[in-house]
Structure formats: structure tokens, C-alpha cells
Structure 1
Amino acid sequence: MRTKIIATIGPASDSPEVLTRLIRNGVRIFRLNFSHGNASMFTDLIALLRRLEQEHGVPLTLLQDLSGPKIRIGELRQGTLNLDKGDRVVLGPPGAEMVRDLPFIPFDNPPILESLEKGDKVVLSDGVMQFVITESLPLGAFEMECQNTGILTSRKGLALPGKPVNLPAMTDKDKKDLRDGLALGVDACALSYVQTPEDILTAKAIIAEHGKNIPVVAKLERQNAVDRLDEILAVTDVVMVARGDLGVECPLPMLPAMQKRIIRACNRAAKPVIVATQMLLSMVSNPAPTRAETTDVANAVLDGADCVMLSEETAMGSYPVETVKFMVEIARQAEQIHFEERKLLPPAEEKGTPDFLAYSACLLAEKTEADAIVSHSMSGASARMISARRPRQIIYGLTPDQEALRGLNFSWGVRPETVDTNLSGHLERAEHFIEGCPVITPGSSVVITAGQPKPGEKSRGTNLVKIYHK
């Protein structure tokens, strides 16, 4: 299977036994959700995963998911509100309860309140409850009309579809969590509610301060982030299509097309892309997914997703291992359709030499019916570019750099491998790996890409494509 699976760890999956089964079934990226705690909660878990990494002999990527500036209402005095379509409520800061004799929703966020105006849409509880502001009231409060029937409880998220929210993606908690996570040894961080390229650069600056170079995942959850996708792609390492909050921000009928466009842009930029949220949600409590869910996962793979992510399914569901097994098989079947229908596509004309070398390697592998592609690079960039072309062959990404090694787990079809640094030449390292790899059998043809410098010169990147016969 070429598609990568990300599993969120929670009470259902944090035992050595379950984690071992997840690894054996192909999970290589584990998501640590910092929305529900801080670094101290993950110390033992990270140590356990590193031990399992050694036992299984495969690189595991620990993805720290930062909580971001989640906007929430306060505690409802009644505990819950049962609302019907057409009901009116008041949204406002503490102290504004008495401005009108209506149910009161406390919301203490002055910058957001100051931006509201009549006619704005307000969505609560991940889209479950929808309102329209009908009137501005004293003390910074607003009257709203309910647009549907439902139940509202305390501390639910608030979103303003179509309205820019000028809050930085990294809160003080996120900055502390990232620093603590780096100290614990996380391999990547996901930034929630990204809106601008500067959000990504803020995280990268903190990472650089700690002498690290781990990938940053830009979670696209707001419309204005999608509007600036090209700028964000220029600075981020990975993109996540976070369909939960994004589905609140934009009309739901637009979401499938938006997902496809985001994935297409990431593929063109050779940046790995993750599709997330409610992929096999019914398996939280059922041993098999719905037909719609299986189609959703398959379509994400066919769209070009590098990774598909499980959240509640593995964190708190009753069937975490079974969910992964279903996802593996769905992805495997979708990949067969991909290989039957899709042809190698050349890079865009404005792309540079590295992109065309990667394409040449894939084309050579296809025309010669090679058994594998082996790509050696220090940063892993060459393997990612090859991955973006979606060749039929497995891509072995060789690197001596441990950060680059674990970063390659995000790329479709790439198997990260550590190389023998006792050998100085990159080509020599690649050939040595092929000779020692038991999966590549004698008589196999392998396409190699490497950065082979002239004697006495430092490598300047990939400059060689070669067919090697084992």
C-alpha cells in the first residue's frame, strides 16, 4: 500500500498491545492531540513509541497537533439550551445577561465581538447550531435568530462562515507546547487554524531556535487560508484538509470540490497532503464502516491524497485496529484503480531541474518495467518529488538524516530507509542498499537517483539517474 495512514492516539490505543497491532498493520504516523493536554501527558507515550520503533525496526513519525485559537462560548447557566428554528437568543460578554429577556449565550472574546454586525452568520458546535445576527444590543451583546432546531451545550466552538477572523494561528499555549514537544522529540507539528504564510513561519522560527528542522503541517480549516493556498504552499511542508472546521466555514456542497482542488495544488507543488475528519467515523462504535465512508476514503486516495487520517476512530473507538485494517484495504483497492487509469504526468513547464529529474526517473522506471526506485538525498526532497509523480514502483527514500527520514513517512509510496554513512558516495550508498535489501530480489532492475558530486566537491543535489541491475 502506498497511501499513508495517520492514527490519533487516545485511551483506545495507547497501550503497547494496541500500538503494536497498529504498527504491524501499517501505521507509521501517530498523532498526538495537544488540544486535550500538554507535553507532560505525552512523555511516557513518546518513550513507549520510541521503544516500539526500535523493536519493529521501522521509523515512526510522531505528529504533534497543536490546538490553535479555538473560539468557544462559555458555560451556559442552564447547562443546555433546547432551541427551535426561529428562536431568539442573546450572545454577549459576561454582564450582558439582562439586556434582553432571552436565553443567554456567554462569549468573552472582545476582538470577535467587536467585528460582529447585523446579518453575520454564527455557527456553533461544529455546525450543529446555526444563527444569524438580527440586532446589536447594549454592553457589546447581539440578538441572534436560530436557523435550525437542536441542542446547545457549554464550551462549544464558534465559527463565523465567510468572515475573516484576525487571530494568529499560534497561541501562547501553542508556543509553549511546541517548545515542550521539541524537547520530547516530536517529529512534526500540525498548526491549527492557519490563515497566513506568516503563521507557518512563526512555527518554523521556534523550531529553528531549538536546532531542529521538522516538517510543519498547515491545517486548512478556514476559507481565507484556502484563498491564500499558493502562498501557504510556498512555505509549509505538508497540508492537511481538515474537513470538520472547513465544512463549517464553507457551504457543505462546496467541500468535495474544494478538497479536490487543494489536493491537486499540493500534488503540483510536490507537498504531501493529508485528508482528515470523519473518514470512518461509524467505526467508533461499529465493527464495519458504511458504504459512503468506504467511498469517501477511496475517493481521497484517487484524488491524490498522500495520507488519510483517523481521529476518534483510533483515539476513543471500540475498534481501532479493525478500522486501520479496513482503511488499508480500501486504500489498496483504490490504488489499483489509480494504476489502471492514471498516466505519469510531466511537471509544469516552470518547474526546475530537480522536478524533471524526478519525472525522468519515473518515466525510465515505467518504460523499463523496473522493480523499484531508490532515491538518495540528504533532505528527502528528491523522494518527495518522485512521489508526486505517483509511479507504480515502490520508492525507497534513503537518507542519513533522522529528521528527513521520519518526514518521508508523509509521502505517498515512499519507504524511508537509513543509509550506511561509512560509504561516502551517494551512488555507492544506493547500490549498497539495493544489494542488501531482501525485498529487492536478484535479477531486479532498479532506477537510482542520487546527488553524485565530482571528486573533492560537496553534493549540490540530485544530478544522476541510473538503472542498476541486481
Structure 2
Amino acid sequence: MRTKVIATLGPASGNVETIRKMVLNGVRILRLNFSHSDAESFRPLIAKIRQVEEDLNIPLTVMGDLCGPKIRIGVVDGAPHEINAHSDVYLGLPEIAGKATDRPFIPLDQTELLQGLEDGMEVSLSDGMLQFKVTETIEKDKLYRLEAQNGGLLSSRKGITFPGKNIALAAFTDKDRVDLTGCIDIGVDAVAMSFVQTASDVEDVQAEIAKRGVWLPVIAKIERQNAVDNIEDILKVADGIMVARGDLGLECKLSAVPVIQKKLIRAARHAQKPVIVATQMMLSMVKNPIPTRAEANDVANAIMDGADCCMLSEETAIGDYPAEAVGYIREIAEGTEPYYLRRIDGPYKPKKEINPIKYLSYSACLLADNIDSPAILCHSSSGASARVICSRRPEQQIYCLTPDKSVPGYLNFFWGMIPVVTDSTVPDHRKRLETYLEGNKDFPRGKGYILVSGQPTPGQTESKTNEIKLYYK
């Protein structure tokens, strides 16, 4: 299986046996949701993950998912209220509730969220279950009249969104700073950042990580229309993206999300960055032992779009069948990937540009196809060369040998990638590949293998990928 699976850990899966089963079914990344816990509470869980990692000798990635700013309304006086379609409510700062008493009043104590709100703009509550439009600006940036677009129950402390509106709210919160420090302390391998709107949001987190003297890949969660609009700039700085379809489906028209997903996946592959598709992939398996036909199609379509990873949330965190949900994604991937590879008809050809590494990687994929190689083996200190090979989507699995123990945690996000920490006592990069190939019984003899490495030449000032070797074992 080339598609990677991310499993969210929770009460249903926070034990060694279930983690082990999920890893054997294809999980390579374990997600810790910081919306509900702090770093210290996850420390015992990470110890269990590392135990499974050692027992199975499979590199695993622990991803801390920072919760970002929680945008919720305050206490609604007299709640719950039954709201009818086309009825009016007020939305405003709590201190001016006395100016609007003839209709239900929705208090919002974050002034910046009301700034720039104008007539005709949309407001969504309770994960989209209640939808409103602004019909009157009573007091700019302080008090508004809204008209309900549908009926439903208005309760206190529910989530609120403003589809399409630029929110002047920092994505990186004080809680996130504390949690990020905790992530580093307990040995998390990557972090996901919520509520990203611009590249600078990602850079804020990266700067904080750098202050700690370490490096962690930062995955930008794309759940805002602004993030979709700024995706090219975000991909320049982020180490990967997540198509977070839950909040994205509130921000954008639900009918637009499938096309947005395809565009985001394509943009990420062109940037040689991994992309995760998340939200409700196998949601029915929280209670049912098998997924619905629609869910199976959803997973298959994400794979055919070119997604690197599929992520499970409630399915593995609180569901009754966590290992089985992962198993179904594995089955779907194993059935879908051969069709996907036939459909793209060979590795993706680069556009015409001066980019020797990309063309060398493409050539390695073409040669691997031509000789029917079982695998492509790449030596890369940072993993950058292996990522370029991955972006061509070769049929072969990509084995990336690296001497840096922090790199495999990042490479686990990439489609078809198998990271290996290599023996750094062997000085020659190509020799490291040959030694690994000869000593690994999983690579049969009588076959040709493609080796990609960087061999210094007199004119090179730094080691870069510059060599393809056809190696017969």
C-alpha cells in the first residue's frame, strides 16, 4: 500500500494492542488532538507508540494537532431558542445586549470577529446547522441584525463561522504556544496547525519551533476560504497541508468542496509537499463494522486525486472498530492504487524548466518502469530528493535512506515512501544504498534496481543528488 493512513488516538485506541493492529493495517502516523488534552496527558500514550515502533521495527510519526483559536459564542440568555426560518436574531458584543431585547441575542466577546461584518454576509452556527445572513448593521463592529436562513435550535457556547470573511484573529494562540513547547518536550515528530489563513501564520509556528533549537514539520490545515485563496504562498513555507473538509465545508459551499479538494491535492504535489485528506472518511464505522458504499468511494476518490494520506478522526479515537476502519482503507487503497497508476500512464512528466533534480528524478522513474524494477532506492540527508521522486508518482515503492533520525518522521507523510535510517559509518552515499540493498532479503536477486544518490565531484561545493545507477542484484 502506497497511501499513508493517519489514525487519531483516543479512548478507543490508546492501548498497545490496538495501536499495533492499526500499524499492521497500514497506519504510519498517529494524531494527538490537543483540542481535548495537553502534552503531559499524552506522554504515556507516546511511550506506547514507541513500544510498538520498536517491536515492529517500523518508523512511526506522532503528530500533535494544535487546536488554534476556538471561536464560540457566549451564553445566550434564555437558551435554547427554537429559531424559525426568516426570523431575526441579534449578534453583537455582550456589553451592548441591552440595546437589543426584542429578539434572541447572540453574544460574541471577540471584537475582531465582528470587524468588517457587512450586510449580506453569511454567519453559520453549530457546524452549519443554523445559517444566517446579516440584514442590518445597527452599530458598526458591535451590533447586527441577522435573518435565519433555516430553522433549528439556538444554544449557548456553539461554534460560529463567517464564510468567506477575513478573520483578524491570530491562528497561533497562547494555548498553542504552551502545547507546542509540550509537543517538543514529549517527543512529537510533527505538528498540524489549525485556522491557517496566510503563509505568515505558518511562519509564526516555525519561528517558535526554531527558538527551541529543533525542527519539526508543520502541516497547515486548510479549513478557511482565505487559506484556499493563498494556497500557493502557504505551500512555499508549510511542510504539508491537510484538506480539513469539516470546517472547509462551512466556509465554502458544500458543493464546491470536492473540486477544492482536487485543486489542493494537485497544488501540493506540484510543490513536492504531502497532502492529507481528512474528515468523515469512515464516519459510519464509529458504530458500524463496515463502511457505507459512499465512504468507500470517498476514500477511493481521494486516492485517485493523488492524496498522500487519508486521516481518520472519530473512527479511531472513539469508534467501536478502530483497527477495522484502518483495514478497510487498506483494502480500498490496494484496490484503487493499481487503477490510479494505470490511469496516469507512467510517472508525471515535469513541465519545461531548468530543474536538474526534478528531471533526474523523472528519469529514475522512467528507468525503473523500463526495467520493471521492484523499487527505487534514494539516499537523501534531508529527504528532499526523495520527495521530488515521490511527486512523479512512480509505480515502485521509494526507499529513502537518511542518516538523520528526524527525517523519517516527515517522510512518513509521503505517498509510497519507506524511510530508513542508514549506517552513517559508510562514507559513500551510493555504497550505503548498495549495502542496504544487498543485505535486505525483501529485495529479490536477479532483478535490476534504481539507485539515486549524490556523489561529490570536483566542481561541486555541496553534496547534491546527481547520479542514477542501475544496480543488478
- What TM-score bracket applies, with the shorter chain setting the length? over 0.9
Give the Å deviation of 1:421: 1.2
Q: Which residue of 2 aligns with 1:272?
A: 274
The residue type equivalent to 1:447 in the other structure is I
Matches within 5 A, 1:238-317: 238-317=240-319
Moved more, 45-54 or 241-250: 45-54
CA, structure 1 residues 161+351, in 2 after alignment: closer, same or farther (shift >3 Å)?
farther
1:192-234 Cα deviation digits (max 9, x unpaired)? 1111111111111111122222211011111111111111111
Residue identity (%): 49
1:430 aligns with 2:433: yes
The answer to whether the Cα contact below 8 Å between 2:171 and 2:195 also exists between their aligned partners in 1 is yes
1:450 aligns with 2:453: yes
Q: Which residue of 2 aligns with 1:364?
A: 367
Give the Å deviation of 1:172: 1.3
Q: Which residue of 2 aligns with 1:136?
A: 137
The residue type equivalent to 2:28 in the other structure is R
CA–CA distance in structure 2, aligned partners of residues 459 and 397 of structure 1: 20
Q: Which residue of 2 aligns with 1:218?
A: 220
Q: Which residue of 1 aligns with 2:65?
A: 65
1:434-454 Cα deviation digits (max 9, x unpaired)? 011121012221100011124
1:414 aligns with 2:414: no
Q: Which residue of 1 aligns with 2:463?
A: 460
The residue type equivalent to 1:236 in the other structure is A
Unpaired runs of 5+ residues, structure 2, are none
Give the Å deviation of 1:350: 2.6
Q: Which residue of 2 aligns with 1:336?
A: 338
Structure 1 counterpart SS, 2:35: helix
The answer to whether the Cα contact below 8 Å between 1:72 and 1:156 also exists between their aligned partners in 2 is yes
Q: Which residue of 2 aligns with 1:377?
A: 380
1:360-408 Cα deviation digits (max 9, x unpaired)? 1101101111111001110011111111111111111111111111110
Give the Å deviation of 1:151: 2.3
CA–CA distance in structure 2, aligned partners of residues 300 and 272 of structure 1: 13
The answer to whether the Cα contact below 8 Å between 2:4 and 2:27 also exists between their aligned partners in 1 is yes
CA–CA distance in structure 2, aligned partners of residues 354 and 314 of structure 1: 39
1:82 aligns with 2:82: yes
CA–CA distance in structure 2, aligned partners of residues 150 and 323 of structure 1: 32
CA–CA distance in structure 2, aligned partners of residues 284 and 202 of structure 1: 36
CA, structure 1 residues 78+336, in 2 after alignment: closer, same or farther (shift >3 Å)?
farther
Matches within 5 A, 1:115-154: 115-137=116-138, 140-154=142-156
1:222-262 Cα deviation digits (max 9, x unpaired)? 11111111111111111111111111111111111111111
CA, structure 1 residues 458+51, in 2 after alignment: closer, same or farther (shift >3 Å)?
farther
Q: Which residue of 2 aligns with 1:100?
A: 101
Matches within 5 A, 1:151-190: 151-190=153-192
The answer to whether the Cα contact below 8 Å between 2:29 and 2:62 also exists between their aligned partners in 1 is yes
CA–CA distance in structure 1, aligned partners of residues 217 and 461 of structure 2: 25
Give the Å deviation of 1:49: 1.2
CA–CA distance in structure 2, aligned partners of residues 75 and 21 of structure 1: 43
The answer to whether the Cα contact below 8 Å between 1:268 and 1:347 also exists between their aligned partners in 2 is no
Give the Å deviation of 1:164: 0.9
CA–CA distance in structure 1, aligned partners of residues 52 and 2 of structure 2: 22
Structure 1 counterpart SS, 2:203: helix
The answer to whether the Cα contact below 8 Å between 2:29 and 2:61 also exists between their aligned partners in 1 is yes
CA–CA distance in structure 2, aligned partners of residues 114 and 224 of structure 1: 16
CA, structure 1 residues 278+240, in 2 after alignment: closer, same or farther (shift >3 Å)?
same
Q: Which residue of 1 aligns with 2:358?
A: 355
CA–CA distance in structure 1, aligned partners of residues 351 and 196 of structure 2: 27
Give the Å deviation of 1:70: 2.7
The residue type equivalent to 1:363 in the other structure is L
CA–CA distance in structure 2, aligned partners of residues 457 and 463 of structure 1: 10
CA–CA distance in structure 2, aligned partners of residues 175 and 446 of structure 1: 46
Structure 2 counterpart SS, 1:383: helix
Structure 1 counterpart SS, 2:154: strand
The residue type equivalent to 2:152 in the other structure is G
Matches within 5 A, 1:12-51: 12-51=12-51
The residue type equivalent to 1:467 in the other structure is L
The residue type equivalent to 1:301 in the other structure is I
CA–CA distance in structure 1, aligned partners of residues 61 and 294 of structure 2: 29
1:392 aligns with 2:368: no
Moved more, 245-254 or 74-83: 74-83
CA–CA distance in structure 1, aligned partners of residues 268 and 142 of structure 2: 42
1:68-91 Cα deviation digits (max 9, x unpaired)? 123111233444332221122122
Moved more, 17-26 or 151-160: 151-160
CA–CA distance in structure 2, aligned partners of residues 319 and 174 of structure 1: 31
1:168-198 Cα deviation digits (max 9, x unpaired)? 2211111221122112111111111111111
The residue type equivalent to 1:217 in the other structure is I
Unpaired runs of 5+ residues, structure 1, are none
The answer to whether the Cα contact below 8 Å between 2:113 and 2:169 also exists between their aligned partners in 1 is no
The answer to whether the Cα contact below 8 Å between 2:76 and 2:104 also exists between their aligned partners in 1 is no
> TM-score scaled to structure 2, two decimals?
0.96
CA, structure 1 residues 70+349, in 2 after alignment: closer, same or farther (shift >3 Å)?
farther
CA, structure 1 residues 287+76, in 2 after alignment: closer, same or farther (shift >3 Å)?
farther
Structure 2 counterpart SS, 1:391: coil
> TM-score scaled to structure 1, two decimals?
0.97
The answer to whether the Cα contact below 8 Å between 1:451 and 1:459 also exists between their aligned partners in 2 is no
Give the Å deviation of 1:351: 5.3
The residue type equivalent to 1:100 in the other structure is T
CA–CA distance in structure 2, aligned partners of residues 336 and 177 of structure 1: 41
